[in-house]
Amino acid sequence: MGKNKKKRHVYPDVPEPLPFEIVDNHTHLPVRGDSYADDEVSVALVPGALQPVPGASSTLSVGRGGVAGAPELANRAEPVSGHGLLLTIPGHLARMKAAGIRRAITCGCEVPTLQSTVDLAVRFPDQLSAAIAIHPNDAPLHRGITEESPDGLTHGLDPWHREYSLEDAVSLVGDLARDNSVVAIGETGLDYFRTADAGRAAQEESFRMHIELAKDLDLSMQIHDREAHEDCVRILEEVGAPERTVFHCFSGDRQLADVCAQHGWYASFGGSMTYPANADLREAFMALPRELILAETDAPYLTPVPWRGHPNAPYAVAYTVRFQAELLGVDLEEWCRQIDANTRAVYGV
């Protein structure tokens, strides 16, 4: 097996625990209804199905055929049919504990994952909370708009896109968001990279509906902004942003950082800030008031260095937070305390 091929199957090592526990404020844990997960994920949720071993070796030598590593590595990755490997939920939670990540806010942003994401957070209230919304790239599909996007991707309608109008989908979000496990509306916003011009109006309408929803329910809001900084800011200013607004996976420059600082909007940084090419992102990070900064993984993508290219998971936010403290030249514990205070201010968890 070539080195690169093997690499895809290996999760990052579980790092030394952080000196003060923090939260991964935006991630996507696998739930029923995900395109990359299926029934085996729910199997993994059966209590006692796995007994995770915190701090166990993280070498995940598991192939699709189930060629597992040593049996004692109970937090090994489990094969999930069709789409490579996933760490089971108990495995994720055990690793979070081992790395000093006290909680993750997991996001469901398509109709079929809304309920299952809330269910997951309800099931593990000590370590999980939920954020739900209709993703900006799903919004046009609920209007039947499938034009090829600028990145060359063609879009097909899934059954739920036909079954739910955009209004009905957002109203389902509103119903489910009343559960106490839901701490944010998100991710919503604009994505001009993955949605064609024809879909922009639907995306904007969806964004406006979600803003109103977050305000009505007095919830925080997580914004997905991809190549759409100006319009995101314009809409927030027009409609009036929710009191606690977060640019998740912040991708702006110094200019957007200044706008966030002016408005008191939060910026959540993921693994992308650790990538060598993203100097603009680091400049924006440095320019932001420290009380407006959060940390996230956006797993399973955007794994921080030195594990770039590997599957991401909430515990790996520890790598990003260490990177941030080094960049700022501040004590790691002090920085973790700052991040944690910011997280509590936004989400109350």
Residues in contact with Zn ion by the rule CB under 5 A: 187, 224, 298
Could you give the dihedral angle defined by the CA atoms of residues 233, 237, 238 and 239, in that order, rounded to the nearest 10 degrees? 100
Q: Which is nearer to Zn ion, 78 or 187 (CB)?
A: 187
CB of 187 to Zn ion, least distance (A): 5
CB of 31 to Zn ion, least distance (A): 13
* CA–CA gap between residue 10 and residue 86 (Å, rounded): 10
**Which amino acid is present at 130?**
A
C-alpha distances (whole Å) from 130 to each of 183, 201, 214 are 6, 27, 14
C-alpha distances (whole Å) from 318 to each of 97, 189, 203, 255, 289 are 11, 27, 33, 27, 21
Q: Let me know the angle formed at the C-alpha of 195 by 194 and 198, rounded to the nearest 5 degrees.
A: 160
Q: Which is nearer to Zn ion, 224 or 310 (CB)?
A: 224
CB of 54 to Zn ion, least distance (A): 26
Q: Which is nearer to Zn ion, 187 or 340 (CB)?
A: 187
Angle between helix 200-216 and helix 229-239 axes, rounded to 10 deg: 40
CB of 336 to Zn ion, least distance (A): 22
Phi, psi of 44 (to 5 degrees): -65, -15
CB of 189 to Zn ion, least distance (A): 8
Q: Which is nearer to Zn ion, 76 or 224 (CB)?
A: 224
- Answer whether 75's CB lies under 8 Å from 91's CB: yes
* CA–CA gap between residue 28 and residue 301 (Å, rounded): 9
Question: Which residue lies nearest Zn ion, judged by its C-beta?
Answer: 224
Q: Which is nearer to Zn ion, 58 or 116 (CB)?
A: 116
Q: Which is nearer to Zn ion, 119 or 298 (CB)?
A: 298
CB of 149 to Zn ion, least distance (A): 15
